[in-house]
Amino acid sequence: MTKEEKHLQRDSQLPEVRGQLLNRIRNDLEQDPDVLAIYLAGSLAKGNADSYSDIDLHTLVKPEKLEGFIADKFGRAGKWGNVLFYEGIAVSPVIVSHFDCFVKVDSWYHTANEITPSIWMKDMKILYDPQGILEPVRKLSEEAVYKITPAEVEFWRTKVLAFIHETYRAGMRGEPYYALANLDSVRWLMAYGWYMEMNRHLDSPYQVWSKIEGSRSRLSEDQLQRLASWEAGRNPGSILTALEGISAEFTRLNKTLSERAGIDDNYEMVSRALRLVL
């Protein structure tokens, strides 16, 4: 059996292992009188999880106990299984725990007044809600609709231009690693723009490529092929060719999104900014 086959065999068991871990987490939290409610977000809540999906866990606690839960978040996660390592800082309400079973748990602690109806809450999966705190929020969230805003389009436009300029600077300076990192940021922002054009919110953190490819992607085959075609090598000419390929679609997309948001597309400024480097 090859190394890949061994990993695939192990990974096929991860959903069952993840379910067992989640049951231990629930048993621990539900027995705590200071825990008011628990819900899942992310892929497990939406029903499109695969073997590698995280447990996105949200726990509501009594307001006067929040500080204590945050202070003990490392110890709490350690009660659920063998943790290999953590991500996070002591004062943050979130802790990311990587367990030795190769399951990752992103765990947040909140108070009830921090939970309000939104597009983020419509897909929540309620695990524990004895006081009925979460159910009204979930129902109201079903009516929430994502709609692009002028501020979002302005931010997107200027970020694309900024990363295009930085890609050029790095490439011409002889810093190809930095140039390619910035080019990836441009490509990610183009994918984000396509999601906005579809009136969908990309459910991934800023500049994280998760859900842009694969079975969870909402992009068309043509869009995925375009993203792939905008890759580049380490020489400046290749990097400039990729930027030139992006520029026409960026100009079109900027016009479309600006019209949707009811703002000027700043065509002259955009054109001048692109001509500086292309």
> What is the separation, in whole angstroms, between the first and last Cα of the chain?
50
pLDDT tens per residue across span 99-128: 999 999 999 999 999 999 998 898 899 999
List, in order of start, the domains of the chain with CATH numbers.
3-141 (3.30.460.10), 150-275 (1.20.120)
123 token code pair: 């897909």
Asked if 122 contacts 141 with a C-beta cutoff of 8 angstroms, the reply is yes
Helix (H, G, I), strand (E, B) or coil at 40: strand
User: At residue 21, does pLDDT exceed 90?
Assistant: yes
pLDDT above 90 covers a percentage of the chain that reads 87
244 token code pair: 């030139």
User: At residue 90, does pLDDT exceed 90?
Assistant: no
Q: What is the pLDDT of residue 39?
A: 98
User: At residue 145, does pLDDT exceed 90?
Assistant: no
How many helices (H) and strands (E) in the chain? 11, 6
Q: Cα angle vertex 214, ends 42, 230, to 5°?
A: 115
Q: What is the pLDDT of residue 205?
A: 84
Q: What is the pLDDT of residue 189?
A: 98
User: At residue 89, does pLDDT exceed 90?
Assistant: no
Strand ranges in 24-172 using DSSP code E only, listed in sequence order: 35-41, 55-61, 83-87, 94-99, 104-110, 125-128
Q: What is the pLDDT of residue 120?
A: 87
- List C-alpha distances in Å: 75 to 63, 68, 86, 107: 20, 11, 11, 13
Mean pLDDT of the chain: 95
- List C-alpha distances in Å: 115 to 108, 118, 135, 138: 12, 9, 11, 10
- Assign 150 a pLDDT band (cuts: 50, 70, 90): very high
Q: What is the pLDDT of residue 177?
A: 97
- Assign 95 a pLDDT band (cuts: 50, 70, 90): very high
- Assign 143 a pLDDT band (cuts: 50, 70, 90): confident
Query: In terms of C-beta density within 10 A (0-12 exposed, 13-18 middle, 19 or more buried), how is residue 250 classed?
Result: buried
Least confident of 71-75, 105-109, 152-156, 210-214: 210-214
Supply φ then ψ for residue 239, to 5 degrees: -65, -45
pLDDT tens per residue across span 198-252: 999 888 888 999 889 988 899 999 999 999 999 999 999 999 999 999 999 999 9
